[in-house]
Structure 1
Amino acid sequence: MAVDALDTRILRLLIERPRTSVREYARLLGIARGTLQARLDRLERDGVITGTGPFLSPAALGHPVLAFVHVEVTQGHLDEVGDALAGVPEIVEAFSITGGGDLLTRVVARDAGHLEDVIQRLIQLPGVVRTRTEVALRERVPHRLLPLVEAVGRAAGAPQESGTGAHSR
């Protein structure tokens, strides 16, 4: 799906001002509300916009420990293990990968002991051969998409505006 200059401006506003009304977005962009709504509908339909927030902090929910757990799976059991991972609430993301392991999970925990309990639960899942865990010490680049949106916009010929920085998700 091609994202043009107007789409890029819309996406920038959605990222920088997520709690703004559609009417206010249209005013800020200088376009009709109907035009904006049609663009938003298309961006959602095409899978560019996949959600509307809120972004939650696992640490604020009492789970400040973040680890990446590589899971090696018995050949032919990837789907079953993937389905089982969905039943572990501390797994906030899981991906099939190439390289060292079959799955990469992002796991949150209350503390080191809780992390160990989660890993032990993973090891006991049918089809799991072994795990390898890497604990994150500090977030260096928070999840963000604004730089990507800006790069897409540059490629589409969108005019660049300075961002706020604080809400560049």
Structure 2
Amino acid sequence: MTERSVQLDDLDARLLQLLQAEPRIGVLELSRRLAVARGTVQARLDKLVARGAILGFGPEVSPAVIGFGVMSFVTLEISQRYGHVKVAQHLADIPEVLEAHTITGTGDVLCRIVARSNADLQRVIDQIVGYEGIVRASTIIALAELIPYRTLPLVKAASNA
């Protein structure tokens, strides 16, 4: 997947910071707090969405709070005969697979998965490896989140570049 680079300036960075802090804020309030015209804010938002810098405005859901308190990372070795696309289609059918990435190193695919319990994790792993295109899985259970997924430090760094 090839990504286009988007140059961020100080206004873009401040806009993204406000949206991150207060996702339900309106365009009019954004323009007031940023001290720029409403049309400017709307144009910047439209540009950032169109170029793929903003991926969405939906709620961030906590898997743990909705009953999926066990998180793990699974490295998969796949049969090259099946390829990544078919494995990805299989993984996409499993709701507990939150994300999957092709990787370099000893494995082929790295997944972040969740489960309701350790026993349920076994069920999820069995479902993942039940596909004949997956040769082997290596699982690591996450004990605690030290740094949650974040992008604001990157936004700040990109706007200062």
Matching residue of 2:146: 140
Residue among 46, 64, 74 paired with 1:41: 46
What is aligned with 1:56? 61
Aligned equivalent of 2:91:
85
Partner of 1:125: 131
Tell me if the contact between 2:8 and 2:155 (Cα under 8 Å) persists in the aligned partners: no
Shift of 1:76: 3.5
Q: CA deviation at 1:126?
A: 2.4
Counting only pairs closer than 5 Å after superposition, residues 99-114 of structure 1 correspond to structure 2 as 99-114=105-120
Deviation at 1:153, TM superposition (A): 2.0
TM-score (norm 1): 0.89
Which letter does structure 1 place at the counterpart of 2:107? G
What is the match of residue 158 of structure 1?
none
Report the counterpart of residue 17 of structure 2 in structure 1: 12
Which residue, out of 135, 147, 155, partners 1:149?
A: 155
Unaligned stretches of 5+ in structure 2? 1-5
Residue identity in the other structure for 1:141 = I
1:165 aligns with none
Q: C-alpha offsets along residues 19-49 of structure 1, whole Å, 9 cap, x if unaligned?
A: 1111000000111111110110000000000
Corresponding letter in the other structure for 1:30 = A
Q: Distance in 1 between matches of 2:90 and 2:99?
A: 13
**Does 1:96 find its partner at 2:122?**
no
Paired positions, count: 155
What is the percentage of aligned positions where both structures have the same residue?
46
1:80 aligned partner, one-letter code: K
